[in-house]
Structure 1
Amino acid sequence: MMSNNLLRKKPIGHIHQGSSLYRSLSAFDLTLMGIGAIIGAGVFVLTGIAAATKAGPAIVVSYMIAGFASLLAALAYAELAASIGGTGSAYSYAYAGFGEIIAWFIGWNLLLEYVMSVGTVAIGWAGYVNNLFQAIHINLPESLTTNPFEGGIINLLAVLVIVAITLLTCLGVKHSARFNAAIVFIKLITIGVFIAVASVNIDLDNWTPFSPFGWEGIMEGAALVFFAYIGFDALSTAVEEAIEPQKSIPIGIITSLIVCTLIYIIVSALLTGMVPYTTLNVESPVAEAMLRLGYHAIGGFIAAGAIAGLTTVMLVMFYGLTRICLAMTRDGLLPTRLSVINTQTHTPITIILITGLTTAFIAGIAPINRAAELVNIGTLAAFTFVCGGVMVLRYTHPDIPRPFRLPLNPGIPILGMMFCIYLMVNLPAVTWWRFIIWTIIGLIIYFVYGMRNSLLRDAA
C-alpha cells in the first residue's frame, strides 16, 4: 500500500508520535463492524418515520435508491482505502486527491457528521432504555431524562452510554470489536425473529396505495433514510488496525453494505405490509407493529434488540470519529500533541477522552431532531468528494498499486457523485444553511490555526 504521505510528498514518519496502532482486525471483524454501524436507527426508527411521512410502502424503493448510492460510494471507498490507506477516511482521500483545504473541508464536516450521529443515536438509545425502565416500574426523574430545551436539566442516560463507550474504546480496538461482534449477533437474531413473525402476518391491502406521496416522496424518503447507511465509511478509518488492509477493508465495506441493504429492503417491505404505514410515525415502529398485532413478548424482545443495535452503531461511529481526529492531528490541522498513542492500549486516549466528553455534552443537552439534521448533508458531501477522488487519482497517480480497482471508471464515480448531489438537493433548506454556517466556522479555524500549523506546509 502506498502511504498517503507519499502522495502529499511529506517526509515519511514525521507525523507519527508515540506508539503505533496495532493490527488486529480481520475481514470478518470488519464486516461485523460494518453491520454493527449500519443496522441500527435505520431498521428500528427511520423505517417507520420515513414510511409514514415521506414514501408510504414505497419506502422499499427509497431504501433501494439510498443503498445504490451508498454502494457506488462504497466501491470508491474500497479502492482508496486499499491504495492510499490512512486512518482519516474521506479526509485522507481528499487530501491525496484535492489538497489540504478541501481535505480540511471534508474532515471538518466528517467531525460534525460523526459527533452528531453518535449524539443522535445516544439520545434514541436513552429513550428506549427509559421506556424499558418504565415498563419494569423504575421511573427516573424527568429532569434527568430530558434536555434543557424540553424542560429538563440533562439527558443523563445518553451521557452515561457515551461515557461507557468512551472507556471501552480506550481499552483497544480488539476489545471493541469483540463486544461489537457479540451484540451484532444479538441484533441479527432480533431481526430474524421479526422477519419470521412478520412474514406470516402480511395484509396486502396495507401496500395500497403503494406510493401515496409520489416520486418526490420516494426521493425525500431516500434522502432521510440515507442516515441508515453512513456507518460503512467508519471501516475505512481502520486501515492501520486491519490485518491485510488491502484485502480486508474492501471486503468489510462491500459485504456489510450489501447485507445491510438486503435487510433494510426486507424489513421495510414486511413492516409496511403488517400494519398501515400511517401508524408507523412512532419512536419504535418495529416493536410498535408487533404490539399492534398482539405479540407483546416479541415486541419487548425487539425493543431490547433495538437497544443492543443502537449500542453497536454508537461504538463503531465513535471509533471512526476518534480515528479521523487522529489523522487531522497528525497533519497538524489540529494540535499534534493530541496524536500520541498509548503504549499499552495502542489507542489515542487523549483524543478519545476529548471527543467522548464533547459528544456526551451534546447528547445530554440537544434535542434529537436538531442533532440529526446535519448528519446526512455532511456525509453526502464526503461521499461526493470520495467518488471524485477516485477519478482524480487515476489521472494524477496512475501507477500507484491498486489492490482493489473500482470497475467501470469513470462511469461509477460519476454516477455516485450524481446520486449524492441529487440526494443533497432533496434535503431541507434549513439543513443547507446550518451546513454553510458550520463550514464557514471551519474555514475560519483553518486559516487562523490549521494553515499556519500544517506539517505539509512546514515540509514544503
Structure 2
Amino acid sequence: MAISRLFRREKLDSYLSSDKHFAKTMSAKDLMSLGIGAVIGTGIFILPGTIAAQYSGPGIVLSFLLAAIVCSTAAMCYAEFASVLPVAGSAYSYGNLVFGEIIGWVLGWALILEYVLAVAAVANAFGAYFKSFVAGFHLTIPTAIAGPFDPAHGTYGNLVAILVVFFISWLLNRGMRESMRINNAIVIVKIAIIILFVVVGAFYVRPENWHPFAPFGAAGIRRGAATVFFAYLGFDVVSSSAAEVKNPRRNMPIGIIGTLVVATVLYMLVAIVLTGMVTYTKLNVADPVAFALTLVHQNWTSGIISLGALAGMFTMMVTMIYSSSRLIYSVGRDGLLPKFLGKIDSQTGTPKHSLAVVTVVIAILGGFVPLDQLTNLVNIGTLVAFLFVSFGIIRLRHLPEMPKNTGFKVPFYPVLPIISGLLCFYMMLQLPAETWIASTIWFALGLVIYLTYGLRHSRLNDQA
C-alpha cells in the first residue's frame, strides 16, 4: 500500500456538490443560539463557585477571561475555515481538504468520541436532574428506571435519558427550521434565568467578599483558567452546520465568535455576583448558585435555577446530536463508513440515516452505561480537532486551489494559529494519564476500521 494513498485530498467542489441538497435555512442568530446551547450548560451554575473555592478566589472572573482568550485563538481558526469552506463535517472535512484523508479520518474519529460521549453523559445527568426536579412536585420516578444498568443497585436503565434523546432526534428529523425555533426559545429561557440570578444576586453583593481578590495568587488564576477552559468547549459544533447556513461567509464567523463572546460575558457576570454574595471559601459545594440563593433566603429562585439547568442540558443535547449526525453523514458521504449514512432526505433536507444511528448509540450509552469516568475523553477529542484546525490555517492559505478568502481571516497570521496550536497541545498535556491510555485505544480502533474498511470503500478510489 502506497503511503500517498493515505494522504489523498478531497476536492472542495465534490463536497459542495454533495452538500447542496441540505436546506439552507440558518441565520447568524440561529448559529449563535446553537453555539450558546452547546457551551452554556449546567456548568455555569457550578464552575464559578467550585473553581473560586479551590483555585482562584474572586479572581475566577479573570480565569474565565483568560480561558476565553485561549479559546478565541482556536475559535478564529474555525471561523476562517467555516468562511472559506462552507461544508458539513467541521474539522473532519477540513482535515480531508487540507491534510489528506487519513488526517480527516483521525479528526472525524476524535469528534465522534467528543459528540457521542458528551451527549450520552449529559442525557444521563438530565435523567438524574429531572428525577430530583419532579420530586419537588411530590412525583416519584421508580429507581429501577432512573439509572444505568446496575442490577446490584436496583437500576436497569435511565428511561428519561433515553426518551429525551429520542425526542430531540424526532425534533431534528422534522427539519432545521422548526428545530431551531424550539432551540432558540429554550436558549432564551436559559439566558433569562441566568440574568435573573445576576439581577437578584446583585442586591445581595457585599464588596468585602471580593477581598482578597486573588488569594492563591496569579498561579491560582492560571490554574483556574486551565480548569474552566473546558467550560467553553462546544463553539466548534457551529461549524458543522456550514452547509445549511444562508450566506456562510458572513454568518459563520458571527456565529462562532459571537457564541464565545456571549458565553464569556455570562460566565463572568455569574462569577462576579456569586463571589460577591458569598465568600469564596464557602463555595466548594455541588450547587454553589442554589447555595448562595438559599443563604440570602431567596429559596424560590433555586427552583428556577433547576429549570435553567434542565434547559441548559436540553439545548446542549440538541446541538450535539445535530452536530454528530452531520459528522456521521460526512464520513458516510466519503465512503469511510457505510454510504447509506451519507444520504440526505429529499423532503426534510436532513440526513435521516445518520441521525437514526447516532440516536440509537447515544440512547444506549446514556440510558444504560455509567459514563462518569469517560468524560475526560470528550476533552481530548476536542483538543485534537482544535490542534489540527489551528495549524491547518497555515496549510489552507498555502494551497493554491482553495478559494480566495474574502470573508473572515485570522488576525496576526501566522503567529496566532501557531499560538493556538501550541496552547491546545499544552491543554492536552494537562489531562490525566488514564485519559491518554483510553484515547490511544480509541484511536487505534479507529485506524483499524479505516485501514480495513474506509480505505477500500473511499469514494476517492473512484477518482484515482
TM-score by length of 1: 0.92
Amino acid at match of 1:329: G
1:379 is displaced (CA, Å) by: 0.7
Correspondence list, 1:334-353, <5 A: 334-353=337-356
Alpha-carbon contact 1:170-1:347 (below 8 Å) kept: yes
Alpha-carbon contact 1:55-1:211 (below 8 Å) kept: yes
Structure-1 residue corresponding to 2:101: 100
CA distance 1:60–1:425, shift in 2 (3 Å): farther
Of the candidates 442, 445, 450, which is equivalent to residue 446 of structure 2? Answer: 442
**Greater alpha carbon shift after TM alignment, 274-283 vs 303-312:** 274-283
1:193 is displaced (CA, Å) by: 0.7
Alpha-carbon contact 1:339-1:348 (below 8 Å) kept: yes
Residues of 2 paired with 1:451 and 1:15: CA distance? 22
Structure-2 residue corresponding to 1:355: 358
Is residue 381 of structure 1 aligned with residue 392 of structure 2?
Answer: no
Residues of 2 paired with 1:56 and 1:347: CA distance? 46
Alpha-carbon contact 2:114-2:382 (below 8 Å) kept: yes
Correspondence list, 1:38-49, <5 A: 38-49=39-50
Structure-2 residue corresponding to 1:456: 460
Identity of aligned residues (%): 41
Is residue 262 of structure 1 aligned with residue 265 of structure 2?
Answer: yes
1:209 is displaced (CA, Å) by: 5.0
Is residue 83 of structure 1 aligned with residue 87 of structure 2?
Answer: no
Structure-2 residue corresponding to 1:67: 68
1:147 counterpart SS class: strand
| CA deviation vs aligned residue, 1:110-159 (integer Å, no higher than 9, x gap) | 01101111122222222221111111111212222122358222122111
1:336 is displaced (CA, Å) by: 0.8
Residues of 2 paired with 1:26 and 1:320: CA distance? 16
Structure-1 residue corresponding to 2:118: 117
**Greater alpha carbon shift after TM alignment, 105-114 vs 399-408:** 399-408
Structure-2 residue corresponding to 1:126: 127
**Aligned length, in residue pairs:** 454
Structure-2 residue corresponding to 1:8: 10
1:249 is displaced (CA, Å) by: 0.8
**Unpaired runs of at least 5, structure 2:** 1-7
CA distance 1:56–1:453, shift in 2 (3 Å): farther
**Greater alpha carbon shift after TM alignment, 422-431 vs 21-30:** 422-431
Residues of 1 paired with 2:192 and 2:390: CA distance? 34
TM-score by length of 2: 0.91
1:376 counterpart SS class: helix
Alpha-carbon contact 1:226-1:376 (below 8 Å) kept: no
1:332 is displaced (CA, Å) by: 0.9
1:383 counterpart SS class: helix
Amino acid at match of 1:123: N
Amino acid at match of 1:226: F
1:153 counterpart SS class: strand
Amino acid at match of 1:39: I
1:314 is displaced (CA, Å) by: 0.9
Alpha-carbon contact 1:219-1:426 (below 8 Å) kept: no
Residues of 2 paired with 1:300 and 1:53: CA distance? 26
Is residue 245 of structure 1 aligned with residue 248 of structure 2?
Answer: yes
Structure-2 residue corresponding to 1:3: none
Alpha-carbon contact 2:88-2:241 (below 8 Å) kept: yes
Structure-2 residue corresponding to 1:401: 404
1:278 is displaced (CA, Å) by: 4.5
Residues of 2 paired with 1:142 and 1:414: CA distance? 51
| CA deviation vs aligned residue, 1:169-220 (integer Å, no higher than 9, x gap) | 1111111110111011111110111111222222345445544556565445
**Greater alpha carbon shift after TM alignment, 273-282 vs 410-419:** 273-282
Alpha-carbon contact 2:120-2:363 (below 8 Å) kept: yes
Residues of 2 paired with 1:377 and 1:285: CA distance? 27
2:403 counterpart SS class: coil
Amino acid at match of 1:433: I
1:21 is displaced (CA, Å) by: 0.9
**Unpaired runs of at least 5, structure 1:** 1-5
1:160 is displaced (CA, Å) by: 1.4
Alpha-carbon contact 1:223-1:427 (below 8 Å) kept: no
Of the candidates 425, 439, 444, which is equivalent to residue 421 of structure 1? Answer: 425
Residues of 1 paired with 2:16 and 2:97: CA distance? 17
For the aligned residue pairs, the C-alpha RMSD in angstroms reads: 2.3
Residues of 2 paired with 1:110 and 1:222: CA distance? 23
Amino acid at match of 1:401: K
Correspondence list, 1:271-350, <5 A: 271-350=274-353
Alpha-carbon contact 1:114-1:317 (below 8 Å) kept: yes
Alpha-carbon contact 1:284-1:303 (below 8 Å) kept: no
**Greater alpha carbon shift after TM alignment, 368-377 vs 72-81:** 368-377
Greater than 6 Å deviation, 4+ residue runs: none
CA distance 1:127–1:283, shift in 2 (3 Å): farther
CA distance 1:220–1:41, shift in 2 (3 Å): farther
Residues of 2 paired with 1:178 and 1:247: CA distance? 21
Amino acid at match of 2:234: G
Amino acid at match of 1:112: L
Residues of 2 paired with 1:358 and 1:214: CA distance? 45
Residues of 2 paired with 1:219 and 1:449: CA distance? 44
CA distance 1:34–1:183, shift in 2 (3 Å): same
Amino acid at match of 1:415: I
Alpha-carbon contact 2:9-2:101 (below 8 Å) kept: no
Correspondence list, 1:128-207, <5 A: 128-148=129-149, 151=153, 152-207=155-210
1:442 counterpart SS class: helix
Amino acid at match of 2:335: G
